Amino acid sequence: MNIGSIARVMLNFNCTELRLVNPRKGWLDENTIAIAAGAEDIIHNAKIYTSLAKASSDLHLTLALTARSRDLNKESLESSNLSNELKQNTENNVGLIFGPENSGLSNEDLIYAHKIVYIPTNPLFASLNISHAVAIILHEICKNSPKVKFNHKISPDATIKEIEHFFLHLETELEKTDFLRVEEKKSTMMRNIKNIFMRIEKLSTKEISTLRGIISALASK
């Protein structure tokens, strides 16, 4: 992944907040700065995280970019429809999730995405250089939604962090009831359960609190 090229493209479209999950050792070198060509501030201010869950914890809407078909039941959007999607979320903290060039996003990564976005490319040669993909996506957003701002205002919609706490609460109680008793199936079962809730695009903080209250009430019986 060429972070310098990505930073340069981001600044082209006035997008300045870069979050990196487990970047390779030595990623911040002279070559990265040189390729950024004036967008060094984005690189120096990039936030580093150890997991995608932590990187997206304060976001209300997460959109994952992937070219490959998946077995997860998630709504997919063509990139040209992104601006319409964001017009409905101007009060929300929105994040775009890109995976590494060599492997893309895994199914585990996609758990933290509300929706999947794809760029209509040649199906026989769909892989794009990541900075090119970033450029296409930001262009699609900006050409019709110049006033959209990422991570601008706080809304009553639940953040990824709040949803993740709900998942942990649910998993803890399910383990107590033996629902997850088959160890080799536990991971897949929890992934599927999480995906059910992540398909509900706009769970509010209050709704998450209600769901946790229901779990607590059932657990106390």
Task: Please indicate, yes or no, whether residues 122 and 183 belong to a single structural domain of this protein.
Answer: no
* 153 is a domain residue: no
Task: Please indicate, yes or no, whether residues 58 and 95 belong to a single structural domain of this protein.
Answer: yes
Task: Please indicate, yes or no, whether residues 57 and 86 belong to a single structural domain of this protein.
Answer: yes
Task: Indicate the residue among 144, 177, 194 that finishes a domain.
Answer: 144
| Whole-Å CA distances, 141 to 23, 76, 94, 111 | 26, 16, 12, 23
pLDDT band per the 50, 70, 90 thresholds, residue 123 = confident
* 68 is a domain residue: yes
Q: What is the pLDDT of residue 42?
A: 93
Ranges 39-53, 68-82, 144-158, most confident: 39-53
- Is the model's pLDDT at 65 over the cut of 70? yes
- Domain holding 190, by residue range, is 160-219
pTM above 0.75, yes or no: no
Q: What is the pLDDT of residue 87?
A: 82
Residues 6+ apart with CB under 8 A from 7: 18, 36, 39, 40, 42, 43, 46
* 150 is a domain residue: no
Q: What is the pLDDT of residue 145?
A: 59
Q: How many domains does the chain have?
A: 2
Task: Please indicate, yes or no, whether residues 68 and 173 belong to a single structural domain of this protein.
Answer: no
Task: Indicate the residue among 144, 170, 200 that finishes a domain.
Answer: 144
Average pLDDT score, the chain: 86
Task: Please indicate, yes or no, whether residues 174 and 212 belong to a single structural domain of this protein.
Answer: yes
- Is the model's pLDDT at 107 over the cut of 70? yes
- CB-CB contact of 65 with 98 (8 Å): yes
Neighbouring C-beta atoms of residue 59, cutoff 10 Å: 24
Q: What is the pLDDT of residue 153?
A: 42
Tens digit of pLDDT for each residue in 172-215? 999 888 888 888 889 999 999 999 998 887 788 888 999 999 99
Tens digit of pLDDT for each residue in 145-177? 545 455 444 446 888 999 999 999 999 999 888
